[in-house]
Amino acid sequence: MEGAAPSGPQEQYFSNLAEGRFRIQRCAACGAHQFFPRVLCMHCGAQDLAWTEPSGAGTVYSFSIVRRKPDAGGDYNVALVDLQEGVRMMSRVDGVAPEGLRIGMPVRARVLRGEGQPLVVFVPAEVA
C-alpha cells in the first residue's frame, strides 16, 4: 500500500535512515537499548519499544581489513563498534586508512545516503 507507514521494526529503521535519522530501540520496561531492531526487547521480552536517537559516540571493538585490488575499489575495513548506549553495530569506519584503524579508537556515527540504501557509517571522533 503506497504511502503506508513502515510496518515492522526493520522497515522503520531503514525509513528513519532514508530521512537522515539514525535511531535505535529503547525498552520502556527495562530501559535497555538494542540493535538490530526487533519486535520484543532482547533483555526482558517486553513489547514496549520506542525509537530513540543515540549519541552517535562509539568505540571500535574489533575490525578486519578487506584487501582488494585498486581497480576493484581498494582496501576497506569492516568494524564492530560499541555505542555509548551499550549496543554493538557492524559497519565501516570512513575517513581513516584501513591501516590507521585501531581497537579502542573513538568514533562518531553518520548516516550515509548515496547510491543504494542509506546506512550508518562511522568516522574518527576527531574528524566528526
- The counts of H helices and E strands in the chain are 1, 8
Q: Are residues 35 and 89 located together in one domain of the fold?
A: no
Burial label, 112 (beta-carbon count in 10 A; 0-12, 13-18, 19+): middle
Q: Does the predicted TM-score (pTM) go above 0.85?
A: yes
Please say if the pLDDT value at position 43 is more than 90: yes
Domain ends where: 53, 78, 97? 53
Which triple of cell numbers denotes residue 124?
574518527
Domain extent, residue 46, equals 1-53
The type of residue at 125 is: A
The pLDDT of 78-93, averaged and rounded, is 98
Q: Are residues 48 and 66 located together in one domain of the fold?
A: no
CA distances from 53 to 13, 26, 64, 116 (A): 11, 10, 27, 23
